Amino acid sequence: MSSFWSLYIVLLTVANIAAAWWLIRWTAKPRKGEVAATETTGHVWDENLTEYNNPMPRWWLYMFYLSIVFAIIYLALYPGLGNFRGLLGWTQVNAYEAQMTQAAQTYDPIFHQYGATDLVALSKNPEAMTTASRLFANNCAACHGSDAHGGPGFPNLTDGDWLYGGSPETIRESILKGRGGVMPTFGPILGEEGVHDVAQYVVSLSGRPADPIRAAAGQQKFAMLCTACHGPEGKGTPALGAPNLTDNIWLYGGSVDTIEQTIRGGRQGRMPTHEALLGADRVHLLAAYVYGLSHRDDAPAP
């Protein structure tokens, strides 16, 4: 903060405190020409409701004075007067770092123990999974939902269908390093008729009713443009994050209009990295939780 604005804040703050003290003193003193406290002000409502000129209770007045004293002491000890840092040298950064250091001393040994446990075995530890559920709620639920069922553009983590693979190590790598999925834009290449054709072929891959003429035309275009990622049979390529188009599970939605929109305009999906935010041990615990979501007894089949 510049010296000018620092001085401006200091003067404004001090002037407000002084004005509050003066106002209290001015209102507390009886002034010349005022009526006595036992007399009325002359204001009467509803025939017999009379306003008296009673002084403010002393305890109330003292509370105002104490608030001013508290403000002066606070501003002397803590930052609040421009660039003045306060006599205690307190900052929110120092307070945060102290809390994080204390938390690390308390919780890091626990998470380190979890990080050294086999991921599959860890997914069956109820106490560990209770902790992991809180990690999921704080870091993953915003995209995947509190129930992990996902939404348009965010995968369902409970059904066993995985873009990059569902092995414990792959799930851990996805959380740790993040993922970046890219579906190219094919609208300018295919034209509107070509988009309709390919969409009908994609629909047919999952066993749904489709226009046979358009699907046949779309198959040729699919072979030229789409097999490099989705494979010649449309079953996807986990190494690229290209989805399986034959299982009728759709990341952005499986309606014909949505499929055409995906082909026409492409998609840009990103799973953020959590390595720097959570650390390896917490990611290991979170990966065990995500793995366990699709390996419960009541988990839906892929």
pLDDT in the model for residue 37: 53
The answer to whether 90 touches 83, Cβ cutoff 8 Å, is no
Alpha-carbon distances of 166 from 89, 210, 231, 248, rounded to whole Å = 50, 31, 19, 18
Report yes or no on 89 lying in a domain: no
- Secondary-structure breakdown of the chain: helix, strand, coil percentages, each rounded to the nearest 5: 55, 10, 35
User: Is 192 within a domain?
Assistant: yes
C-alpha 80/C-alpha 12 separation (Å) is: 11
Q: Within this chain, do residues 285 and 139 fall inside the same structural domain, yes or no? A: yes
Q: Is 299 a member of any domain?
A: no
Residue 93 maps to a domain: no
223-230 contacts, C-beta under 8 A, 24 or more apart = 225/186, 225/189, 225/190, 225/198, 226/198
The alpha carbon torsion through 24, 25, 29, 33 (nearest 10 deg) reads -80
CA torsion through residues 257, 186, 231, 272, sign: negative
User: Does residue 287 sit in the same domain as residue 237?
Assistant: no
Comparison of pLDDT for 52 and 60, the residue scoring more: 60
Check: CB of residue 285 under 8 Å from CB of residue 111. yes
In a domain, 250, yes or no: yes
Tens digit of pLDDT for each residue in 156-201? 999 989 999 999 999 999 999 999 999 999 999 999 999 999 999 9
Tell me which residue of 265, 284, 283 sits closest to 273, measured CA to CA. Answer: 283
CATH of residue 218's domain is 1.10.760.10
Considering the domain architecture, whether residues 70 and 214 belong to the same structural domain is answered as no
CB 201 within 8 Å of CB 224: no
In angstroms, the CA 186 to CA 224 distance is 12
Mean pLDDT of all residues in the chain? 91
Q: Does residue 302 register a pLDDT over 60?
A: no
- Do 29 and 152 sit in the same domain of this protein? no
CA angle 108, 112, 114 (to 5 degrees): 120
**pLDDT over threshold 60, residue 135:** yes
- Is residue 285, in this structure, part of any structural domain at all? yes
- Quick one: 242 and 169 in the same domain? no
CA nearest to 127, candidates 108, 141, 137, 113: 113
Its domain, for residue 121, covers 105-178+272-293
Are residues 207 and 66 part of one domain? no
Same domain, 162 and 201: no
Q: Is residue 301 part of a domain?
A: no
Do 287 and 155 belong together in one domain? yes
Confidence of residue 299 (pLDDT cuts 50, 70, 90): low
Residue 55 has pLDDT above 90, yes or no: no
pLDDT tops 70 at residue 30 = no
Q: Does one domain contain both 116 and 261?
A: no
**97 domain-assigned:** no
Q: What are phi and psi of 234, to 5 degrees?
A: 75, 20
Total of domains in the chain: 3
The model's pTM:
0.73
